[in-house]
Structures are given as structure tokens and as C-alpha cells.
Amino acid sequence: KVVPYIATEEGITKILEEFKSKSIGDEISAALEEINQTTLKIEETHQDITDETLRDAPVARIVNMILETAVKIGASDVHLEPGEDKSRLRYRVDGILEEKRTFPKEMHDSISARVKILSNMKIDEKRIPQDGRFKIQVGDTSTDLRVSTLPTIYGEKVVIRLLKEEGVIFSFKDLGLRGLSLKRLETAILKPTGMILVTGPTGSGKTVTLSAALSKLNTARVNIVTVEDPVEIRVNGVNQVQVNVQAGLTFATGLRSFLRQDPNIILVGEVRDGETAELAIHAALTGHLVLSTLHTNSAAGAIPRLLDMGVEDFLLSSTLVAVLGQRLVRKVCTQCKEEYEPPKEVQDQIRETLKDIEQNKVIMTKDPDIAKNMKLLKQDKLTLYKGKGCDLCHQTGYKGRLGIFELLEMSEKIAHLTVERSPANAIEDVAISEGMVKLIQDGFLRALEGTTTIEEVMRVAK
């Protein structure tokens, strides 16, 4: 007798994924057992681990599974870390490192050796750091892998950065920009000359923001050249150059050569030193639009940083157009999202942080989105949102990431402060009076909307 059952496509897919995960786990266990035996044989015969030893060994299957899993879960980095008695595998997903599995310590060398072979590194060199790269294809997704090794007291630590060959180009709105900040940035990048900077720590999404700007500016009428380290997102129609220090191609040398390439727009991956900063300013002064990044904690902090690098104050005040500070916060999972009433001290903190916006006439009159959200503060009790955890978000309560921003626009007052070499807090005060919303304020507004959580905002913007 046949008993019919009805199942949704989503349900069937979920069961298949669970079954596949179990199969992968079983295969890893079997492969580990084989590696144990292989390692034992090598130790008994005093053989070295070689390319031939590993090419067809079970360790190859383990490395393949590690990388395939990384692509499927959307990891940006894979960490293989040796310890005193075991090695651990961690993935960075949505900016957070998560431990997925541990391996017996004696197997770490085999796994790291396999990765080094794929990356064209010297397999027998374990005393110094090495860098390499290779590509993998998982389904329809082609991924470029940048590999770095580091000798530690317990063995070689391996970090693998995953870069999709055809990166998705987002719009400014997709990234989280809106209202007055969005309007001002869109106006800034349309200027024919000047310098625009994006600031923030490593992993804050600066490259993605610059790619969005390039995508908006990229037409048949302009010549765009970039020098990056590495080229993370490929943009069709843009001349992208990879830094090669060993060959003498740095940000500075790239910038010098660009000026002979008849460019309209120049992107420099990062302003790392005074020489690069001065060349970028010179390019902006001679009729080019220059886009770049800088590592500072705030948008206002970019000005003192450039002055400290040796840029002349009068040149900086006349070339800098805008500075965008940003961070990435995890978004609340829409599948398991639920509302709650935060403790009184949290509500007081939100009101205290956002009260300056309500008193700022520039923001309240020119940014209707923020003005609308500020009405939520008039409620007696505030409502926030969080994810309780589900299969979609792997029980984390978060799925995906979004940017929070602060945009400093060069004005007469800020130009005057730049020439006077005023500190960052004085520059920030003027920028706020002229309509800048601070990072933490933008984050709190996002939390009030239910897009992220207060905890996330405090984690990245405190």
C-alpha cells in the first residue's frame, strides 16, 4: 500500500542538505582514519611529506570539503590553527569567527601541506611566513583563494581568504546608505576633481563601497584605473591593477604611472604612507577624481591622519571633497525575528545618543527618513528586535550584514579648521552641526527599525 505525503520544495532541500552534511561528516571521519595510517607509515619510514604523498591522499578530500563548505556558507576566511594537542578549523561568516571542527594535532601538517601545494608554496619551508593563491570551482561559483601561512610555536597557521571572481556589485542603497548621507555622497562622486575617502577598520566593507562608486561612475565616457592589494572585486570596463611589491609595483609607483594613462578617475586601494598621500593629492589637484581608503576610527579623524602623513594643510583643504566612515553590522534574521522591550538603561542610552539629532535642524529638515524614525523615540516604551535562532541563520539570530555610516562633507568651516590643524573632535563637532549623523547614531536608528541589534552596533561602533 502506497501512502502519499506532501512536502514543500524547501523541506526536501533541507533534508537533502542535512543528509549531505552527515555524509560529509562520515567521509571526513573515514579520511581522518586513513590519514592516521598514512602518517604512521611516513613516521615509521622517516619519509618527508611530499607532493606525491598528498596528491591522492585522503587529506585532499578533507581540504576539498573544507573549501566547499566555506563557499556554501558564505565564509570570507578559513582559519586552520595548530594547538598544543589539537588543530581547529574556524570560518569567518558575517564578520564573526566560528569554530566548526577540531582535528588531531598530528594531522595538521598534512592538511597545511596540501594547501601549500595548491598555493604553489614551498612545502618544506616552515620557518617564515608565505603567501600564495589558487582557484576553486564549486557549482557555478568560481572563487579566488588567497593563502597566508604563519609559523607559530605549535606549527603553521593557515588563513585562506575567499574572493569571488565575479563579485556582486551593490548600489549605495543596497549597502545601507540613505537620506542626506546618500544624497551628499552621490553628489560628491559626480565631481570631476577632488579626493573622496572611505575610512574604517579592516573588514568594514570599504572595498565594496568603492566598487559601488566605480559601478555608478563607470561609463564609456570615462577612463577609470585602479591599483589595489588585492583586487577583490572585478568591475567590467575598469582597468584594475594588482600591487606587486616584489616587482616594484606599489600604490605609489602605480599612481605615478596612472597619470600618464589619461585617466578621469583613479582608485587607490589604500593610503598607507606619506608618499602615496602626496601623490593622491597631486592627482586630485591636476584634474582627476581620486577615490581611496584610510584606516581611521572616524570620518573626522581622516583629516589629522593625512596631515600627520605630511600632506600640506592648504592642499588638503582644497582637494578633499568628502570622507565616509563606515562599519558593518549583522542583520537580524527575518525568519526568526521577534520584538522585545529593552531594559530601562538601554532605552535611556538610545534616547541620550539620539537626542542631538532631534535638535539638529539640518538633519530634521533635509532627511525625512531620519525625521520619521525619530518619532519612535516619542513612545513611552521603546521596542527593539532580535533573532531567536533558526535553521536559516544557523541558530545565531543574524543573517547577512549591512553598513552603518557617517559622512563628513568638506565645507568652508571644515576647510578653515583643516588649515588651522584642529583636532578631530573639533572637526567632528562642525560636521555634526552641518548635518552629519554619527556612526553610532546611524546604528541605533537601524536598531529601532529592527534591522540590527543594539549589541551589534555597540560591538562595532563603540
Looking at residue 157, which CATH number applies to its domain?
3.30.450.90
Q: Are residues 410 and 444 located together in one domain of the fold? A: yes
Question: How far apart are alpha carbons 357 and 371 in whole angstroms?
Answer: 9
Question: How far apart are alpha carbons 70 and 76 in whole angstroms?
Answer: 8
Could you tell me if residue 151 is inside a domain?
Answer: yes
Q: What is the Cβ-side half-sphere exposure of residue 380, based on CA atoms within 13 angstroms?
A: 0
Question: How far apart are alpha carbons 397 and 391 in whole angstroms?
Answer: 10
Q: Are residues 123 and 262 located together in one domain of the fold? A: no
Report pLDDT digits (tens) over 309-349.
999 999 999 999 999 999 999 999 999 999 999 999 999 99
Number of residues that make up the chain: 462
Task: Assess whether pLDDT exceeds 70 at residue 363.
Answer: yes
Quote the pLDDT of residue 337.
Answer: 95
Q: Are residues 104 and 243 located together in one domain of the fold? A: no
CATH number of the domain encompassing residue 217: 3.40.50.300
Question: How far apart are alpha carbons 446 and 385 in whole angstroms?
Answer: 10
**How many folded domains does the chain comprise?**
2
Quote the pLDDT of residue 448.
Answer: 93
Instruction: Report in angstroms the alpha-carbon separations of 307 from 112, 131, 208.
Output: 43, 33, 26
Could you tell me if residue 4 is inside a domain?
Answer: no
Residue range 275-300: average pLDDT?
Answer: 95
Quote the pLDDT of residue 263.
Answer: 94
Quote the pLDDT of residue 45.
Answer: 41
Which one is predicted more confidently, 268 or 170? 268
What are the DSSP E strand ranges found in 200-250? 224-228, 239-242
Task: Assess whether pLDDT exceeds 70 at residue 194.
Answer: yes
For the chain, how long is the longest CA-to-CA vector?
88
Q: Which of 28-32, 186-190, 191-195, 303-307 has the lowest mean pLDDT?
A: 28-32
Could you tell me if residue 3 is inside a domain?
Answer: no
Q: Are residues 213 and 343 located together in one domain of the fold? A: yes
Quote the pLDDT of residue 14.
Answer: 61
Show the cell assigned to 61.
578530500
- Virtual torsion, Cα 413, 414, 419, 425, nearest 10 deg: 120
Quote the pLDDT of residue 394.
Answer: 84
Ramachandran region of residue 224, left (φ > 0), alpha (ψ -120 to 50) or beta? beta
Could you tell me if residue 385 is inside a domain?
Answer: yes
Quote the pLDDT of residue 30.
Answer: 63
If pLDDT is split at 50, 70 and 90, which confidence band does 44 have? very low
Q: Are residues 136 and 195 located together in one domain of the fold? A: no
Question: How far apart are alpha carbons 255 and 274 in whole angstroms?
Answer: 13
Q: Are residues 336 and 193 located together in one domain of the fold? A: yes
Q: Are residues 141 and 182 located together in one domain of the fold? A: no
Q: Which residues pair with 112 in a beta bridge?
A: none
Instruction: Report in angstroms the alpha-carbon separations of 282 from 154, 442, 449.
Output: 48, 33, 43
If pLDDT is split at 50, 70 and 90, which confidence band does 8 have? confident
H runs (alpha helix) in 142-299: 172-175, 179-189, 206-217, 251-258, 274-285
Instruction: Look at residues 164, 188, 208 and tell me which one is the last residue of a structural domain.
Output: 164
Q: Are residues 38 and 156 located together in one domain of the fold? A: yes
Q: Among 353, 380, 308, 376, which residue's Cα sits nearest to residue 461?
A: 353
Instruction: Look at residues 164, 181, 200 and tell me which one is the last residue of a structural domain.
Output: 164
Which one is predicted more confidently, 202 or 308? 308
Q: Are residues 150 and 244 located together in one domain of the fold? A: no
Q: Are residues 17 and 121 located together in one domain of the fold? A: yes
Q: Among 320, 297, 288, which residue's Cα sits nearest to residue 414?
A: 320
What's the DSSP call for residue 218?
Answer: -
Could you tell me if residue 155 is inside a domain?
Answer: yes
Q: Which residues of 217-254 are buried (b: 16+ CB within 10 A; e: fewer)?
A: bbeeeebbbbbbbebbbebeebebbebeeeeebbbbbb
Could you tell me if residue 276 is inside a domain?
Answer: yes
Instruction: Look at residues 127, 146, 164 and tell me which one is the last residue of a structural domain.
Output: 164
What are the DSSP E strand ranges found in 2-105? 77-82, 86-93, 96-104
Q: Among 124, 122, 140, 142, which residue's Cα sits nearest to residue 132?
A: 122
Q: Are residues 212 and 97 located together in one domain of the fold? A: no
Q: Which of 235-239, 403-407, 438-442 has the lowest mean pLDDT?
A: 235-239
Q: Are residues 423 and 345 located together in one domain of the fold? A: yes
Which one is predicted more confidently, 121 or 40? 121
Quote the pLDDT of residue 40.
Answer: 43
Name the 3-class secondary structure at 377.
Answer: helix
147-150 contacts: CB < 8 A, separation 24 or more? 147/115, 147/116, 147/118, 147/119, 147/121, 149/112, 149/116, 149/121
The boundaries of the domain holding residue 231 are: 172-461
